[in-house]
Structure formats: structure tokens, C-alpha cells
């Protein structure tokens, strides 16, 4: 099977044809990841969260596989709309919205929304007959650097109170949702959150509040260190067990983002300057933390980087710096690489999630160009090769 895990790209050829810097998006890797998660969670409706890689192509590829979608902004609504996605397969999960955001999603036809406080609930009063509401519950997770429960979600202790408030006001209560944090190291917190929600669903039932949906969020991790597929089936096995205790009439949803998109992009950039500073070679590149490597700042991720040359011999510690004039724009302070020359290439793997999505154009330097391939399609194999200059 050809995808970015199993196939070598001819980076030099790509740069010769399209210039530098580049982000290479592979549709086959998107499919591979979606299908692996679908297999690991067979009874869960997967809503791809657009935020890590909000591209029409990704949405179109996933739509063909029968995926559903998770939206959080009007711009994301525009993307699914332009890909002709059925709005009934979408949920809008931003816990805090303006009235015009709610209206925009409703006009598109998406009617599932999230609330986690009374002020947000009030915003839906005029749309009461149109919306289905998920109550987001917080499950803080010190095991991840992206702990989304810090900012959103009500405590489990406050859930029945907020459900009752919605019921008293005549709202259509749809269910509960949570997000235990992104890139979690194990599924322990998912299991704890599901177990807690199972209890809350039963308690709500006792109060005459019917819960139809449990949305278990995202967080499914990738292997940044080795840039290899993770054993997602083993990761999900405890989640499948915990879901066996969820009442049978409750539909399960998830909002995976990173797991589907992260492995599907490689970055290629070029050495544009070399300087000897503080006893090390500094290589100045045409991409950096203000652009494709922005995830190193916002997402706390360190991407695997290498040169597509003799990368195993004569390595030495060096610094990789980005193209802007800011001194924070350094993507590696102490990385072991062979001596590089002007115009040599540097490659970053696993760069599909929270990379170009958070890129800026600081210094008026444009964002990296995205080149789309489908490595399952023979016309894309002109950009692949057996082995990269092994010498
Ligand atoms: C509401 C919501 N859903 C889904 C996601 C995607 O999470 P992940 O990329 O960890 O799968 C996020 C990430 O921030 C989120 O905030």
C-alpha cells in the first residue's frame, strides 16, 4: 500500500518542479488513517475535526469514505459547504459562539451545537425548536500539553444541573460531549471520562432527561518520534470496553483531527544561508516557526526532521533557523545533521496537523505552498523513488 508511511518521496524532484518551501499532502495517507480508526472504533461515528488541517481536499477524501465532520467556525462551515457535505453529517462543537455563528451554521443546515454554561444556553433561546444540544463536560488531563478541559466544559458535578436547566427551558437535549486533550499518551482519560458519562447518562435518565448521544471527542495520538503508524487498535481497546457499559440506545460520536491529518503531510524547505555562530553551524531555512513549524510553538510538538542525503554519516550538532528576522524563529537548537550546503533540502515528517493551520505571514513571508498527491494513484508515483541517494 502506497502512502507517506510506506513510500519515499523524491523531494528534490518536487522542489525542482514546485519550488520551496512546500507541504506535500497525500490523500492516500488521509484514507489510511481514517480507515484504521474506523476499524478500531467500528460503532463510533467519526466526525473529522477540521481545525488541524482545514482543507477542501481532506474533506472531499473523507466524505467519499462516508465520514462525518466537526466544525468550529464559519470558515469551516464554508469548507464543508464547498465540498457539498450533507450538513446533517456535521456537528458544531465550539462551546462559545456569537449569535451570527449560530445563525450561519443553522443556515447551512448544521443543527447540533455544544454548550457548557448558562450564558451559552440562553443564546439558543430563539433557535430552540431548531437545535439539538450537547453539553460539554470537562475532564482535565495533566498527561497532555494540550489540555482542552482547562478552557471548556462544565464539571461532572454540574452536569445534571445544566441538563435540568436546558430541560426546564424546553430545549432538545441531545447528549454529552468531552475532549480529554490532544495527543494523549494513552486512553486512560478517555476511559475515565466515558465511565463518568455513563453514570451521568443513567442519572439523567432517572430525572426524565433522555440522552441520545455521547461524543468522546478527539485526542487520538500519532507517533511523532518515529513517524510510524501507531497501534490504534490497542489504543482504542480500553475505549471499546468502556463503551460496552454505555446504555445501548446512546449513539457514540468522536471528533478525531490530528490522528487523521498529522501523518498526511511532509514539509520540504531549503537552506538559504549558513553562518558559524557560538561554535555551531547555523542553517537558515525558507520555512520556520512562523509558518509550517508553528506547531512547535502552539501545539508543543517536535517534528522529526532529516536531510534526504547521507544522513547517517559525519553528523554534527547544528542549529536550524527560520526565515523571519525574529530570534524565536529557530526550529532546532541542537540537532545532529550532516554538514549542509546552500540549497540543500530539509524534510519534516508528520506535519499535517496544527502546522499550516496555525501558520502566519509574519515579515510578509508567504505561507508554504501545498502540493496534493495521491500515492495510491499511479500518476503520483512520478514523485516517489525506491531509496533516497543512499551512499
Ligand atoms: C472541540 C474539539 N474537537 C476536536 C478536536 C481535535 O482534537 P485532536 O486533534 O486531538 O483529535 C479539538 C482540538 O482542539 C477540539 O477542540
**CATH number for the domain including 355?**
2.40.37.10
The residue range of the domain holding 357 is 264-387
Ligand 1 centroid to Cα of residue 262, in Å, is: 13
Evaluate whether 74 touches 296 at the Cβ level (below 8 Å). no
Last residue of a domain, one of 223, 256, 289: 256
Average pLDDT, the chain: 96
The last residue of a domain, from among 214, 236, 256: 256
**378 dihedral zone (left: phi>0; alpha: psi -120 to 50; beta):** alpha
Distance 177 CA to ligand 1 centre (A): 12
Q: Are residues 239 and 134 in the same domain?
A: yes
- Give CA–CA dist 98/72, Å, rounded: 12
Instruction: Report the run of H or E that residue 296 belongs to, with start and end.
Output: helix 295-298
Q: pLDDT at position 386, please? A: 60
Closest Cα to atom 1, ligand 1: which residue?
A: 93
Return the ligand 1 atom nearest residue 256 CA.
11
Helix (H) / strand (E) element for 272: namely strand 265-277
Q: Same structural domain for residues 131 and 279?
A: no
The verdict on the CB of residue 116 being under 6 Å from ligand 1 is: no
pLDDT band at 389 (very low <50, low <70, confident <90, very high): very low
HSE value, Cβ hemisphere, 13 Å, CA-based, for 35: 9
272-323 residue pLDDT tens: 999 999 999 999 999 999 999 999 999 999 999 999 876 567 899 999 999 9
Whether residue 52 has its Cβ less than 6 Å from ligand 1: yes
| Polymer length in residues for the chain | 391
**What confidence score (pLDDT) does residue 72 get?**
98
Q: Which residue among 213, 232, 256 closes a domain?
A: 256
pLDDT of 388 reads 44
Residues 230 and 333 in one domain: no
User: Atom 7 of ligand 1 has which residue's CA nearest to it?
Assistant: 218
Q: What is the pLDDT of residue 387?
A: 47
∠ Cα 235 240 243 (to 5°): 135
Number of domains in the chain: 2
Tell me the CA–centroid distance for residue 92 and ligand 1, in Å: 12
Chain segment 111-169, per-residue pLDDT in tens: 999 999 999 999 999 999 999 999 999 999 999 989 999 999 999 999 999 999 999 99
Q: Alpha carbon of 164 to those of 169, 172, 179, 216, 236: distances in Å?
A: 9, 11, 22, 22, 32
Residue 299 lies in a domain: yes
Query: Could you tell me if residue 354 is inside a domain?
Result: yes
* Residue 50 alpha carbon to ligand 1 centre in Å: 9
User: In whole angstroms, how far apart are CA 82 and each of 56, 76, 79, 86, 184?
Assistant: 7, 10, 5, 11, 32
Is 178 within a domain? yes
DSSP 8-state code for residue 154: B
How many Å lie between the centroid of ligand 1 and the Cα of residue 52?
8
- pLDDT tens across 20-39, in order? 999 999 999 999 999 999 99
Q: Are 319 and 283 in contact (CB under 8 A)?
A: yes
Looking at 62-71, 229-238, 307-316, which range is the least confident one? Answer: 307-316
Give the C-alpha separation, 29 to 263, whole Å. Answer: 7
- Conformational region of residue 216, where left means phi above 0, alpha means psi within -120 to 50, and beta covers everything else: alpha
Question: Which set of grid coordinates corresponds to residue 247?
Answer: 446504555
Amino acid at each position: 500500500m502506497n502512502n507517506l508511511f510506506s513510500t519515499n518521496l523524491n523531494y528534490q524532484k518536487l522542489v525542482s518542479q514546485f519550488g520551496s518551501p512546500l507541504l506535500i499532502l497525500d490523500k492516500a495517507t488521509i484514507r489510511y488513517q481514517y480507515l484504521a480508526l474506523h476499524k478500531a472504533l467500528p460503532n463510533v461515528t467519526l466526525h473529522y475535526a477540521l481545525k488541524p488541517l482545514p482543507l477542501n481536499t481532506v474533506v472531499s477524501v473523507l466524505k467519499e469514505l462516508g465520514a462525518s465532520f466537526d466544525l468550529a467556525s464559519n470558515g469551516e462551515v464554508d469548507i464543508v459547504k464547498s465540498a457539498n457535505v450533507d450538513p446533517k453529517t456535521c456537528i458544531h462543537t465550539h462551546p462559545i459562539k456569537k449569535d451570527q455563528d449560530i445563525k450561519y451554521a443553522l443556515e447551512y443546515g448544521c443543527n447540533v451545537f455544544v454548550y457548557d454554561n448558562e450564558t451559552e444556553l440562553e443564546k439558543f433561546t430563539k433557535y430552540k425548536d431548531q437545535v439539538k444540544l450537547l453539553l460539554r463536560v470537562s475532564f482535565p488531563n495533566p498527561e497532555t500539553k494540550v489540555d482542552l478541559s482547562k478552557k471548556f466544559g462544565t464539571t461532572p458535578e454540574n452536569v445534571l444541573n445544566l441538563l435540568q436547566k436546558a430541560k426546564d427551558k424546553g430545549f432538545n437535549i441531545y447528549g454529552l460531549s468531552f475532549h480529554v486533550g490532544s495527543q494523549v499518551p494513552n486512553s486512560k482519560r478517555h476511559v475515565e471520562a466515558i465511565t463518568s458519562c455513563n453514570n451521568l447518562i443513567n442519572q439523567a435518565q432517572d430525572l426524565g432527561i433522555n440522552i441520545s448521544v455521547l461524543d468522546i471527542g478527539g485526542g487520538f495520538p500519532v507517533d511523532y518520534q518515529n513517524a510510524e503508524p501507531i497501534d490504534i487498535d490497542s489504543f482504542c481497546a480500553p475505549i471499546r470496553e468502556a463503551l460496552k457499559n454505555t446504555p445501548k440506545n446512546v449513539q457514540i460520536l468522536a471528533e478525531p483531527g490530528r490522528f487523521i491529518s498529522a501523518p498526511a503531510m511532509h514539509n520540504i524547505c531549503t537552506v538559504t544561508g549558513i553562518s558559524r555562530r557560538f561554535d555551531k553551524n547555523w542553517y537558515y531555512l525558507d520555512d520556520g516557526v512562523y509558518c509550517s513549524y508553528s506547531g512547535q510553538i502552539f501545539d508543543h510538538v517536535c517534528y522529526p526532521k532529516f536531510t534526504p542525503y547521507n544522513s547517517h554519516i559525519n553528523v554534527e550538532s547544528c542549529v536550524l533557523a527560520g526565515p523571519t528576522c525574529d530570534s524565536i524563529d529557530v526550529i532546532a537548537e541542537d540537532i545532529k545533521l550532516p554538514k549542509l550546503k546552500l540549497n540543500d533540502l530539509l524534510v519534516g515528517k508528520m506535519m499535517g496537523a496544527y502546522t499550516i493551520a496555525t501558520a502566519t505571514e509574519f515579515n510578509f513571508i508567504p505561507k508554504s505552498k501545498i502540493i496534493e498527491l495521491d500515492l495510491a494513484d499511479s500518476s503520483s508515483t512520478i514523485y516517489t523513488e525506491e531509496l533516497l541517494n543512499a551512499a
